[in-house]
């Protein structure tokens, strides 16, 4: 839990319009949506786990992944960060739908000349690297 709070600290600095309770709602929604996937992966990789262990580990992985996702996109301009977080925390979109929506906004802004190819590449590469490095900490 402490590690999750440390991951959320930079978010409070970069996205001051959202409150800790908003981040927690995002995390809670993310966990509900992704826990079944983590459960299935864990069940196939570690069939020896009993149901309680499986649920606990799946929830822990999903919670960690939610913090990693927030940390990975905290450098995004507010327009994209909000598009990735707010619909999920409000239950209007799934994590996948929000990701698709952000990708569409990024592409539209690139095509309109508001983002250069270099900016788009840097944002994407940085997010992927941050998420991967964070998930490797599990």
Q: Could you report the average pLDDT of every consecutive run of 10 residues in the chain (138 residues)?
A: 43 52 91 96 95 96 95 91 93 94 94 95 93 91
Which residue range is the domain that position 128 belongs to? 23-135
Q: Has residue 2 been placed in a domain?
A: no
Q: Has residue 69 been placed in a domain?
A: yes
pLDDT value of residue 110: 94
Q: Has residue 88 been placed in a domain?
A: yes
Q: Has residue 119 been placed in a domain?
A: yes
Q: Has residue 17 been placed in a domain?
A: no
pLDDT value of residue 103: 92
Q: Has residue 13 been placed in a domain?
A: no
pLDDT value of residue 75: 86
Residue indicated by tokens 């905290």: 74
Q: Has residue 49 been placed in a domain?
A: yes
Q: Has residue 127 been placed in a domain?
A: yes
**Number of Cβ within a 10 Å radius of residue 111:** 9
Q: CA triplet 73, 138, 47: central angle to 5 degrees? A: 125
Phi, psi torsion values for 116, nearest 5 degrees: -85, 165
What whole-number distance in Å separates Cα of residue 58 and Cα of residue 51?
10
**Number of Cβ within a 10 Å radius of residue 96:** 11
| Structural domain count of the chain | 1
């Amino acid at each position: 839990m402490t590690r999750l709070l440390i991951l959320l600290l930079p978010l409070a600095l970069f996205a001051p319009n959202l409150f800790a309770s908003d981040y927690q709602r995002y995390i809670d929604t993310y966990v509900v949506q992704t826990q079944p996937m983590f459960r299935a992966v864990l069940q196939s990789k570690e069939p020896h786990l009993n149901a309680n262990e499986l649920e606990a580990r799946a929830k822990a992985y999903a919670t960690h992944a939610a913090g990693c996702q927030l940390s990975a996109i905290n450098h995004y301009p507010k327009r994209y960060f909000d598009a990735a977080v707010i619909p999920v925390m409000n239950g209007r979109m799934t994590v996948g739908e929000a990701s698709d929506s952000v990708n569409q906004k990024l592409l539209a802004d690139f095509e309109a000349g508001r983002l250069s190819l270099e900016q788009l590449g840097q944002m994407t590469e940085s997010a992927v690297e941050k998420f991967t490095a964070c998930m490797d900490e599990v």
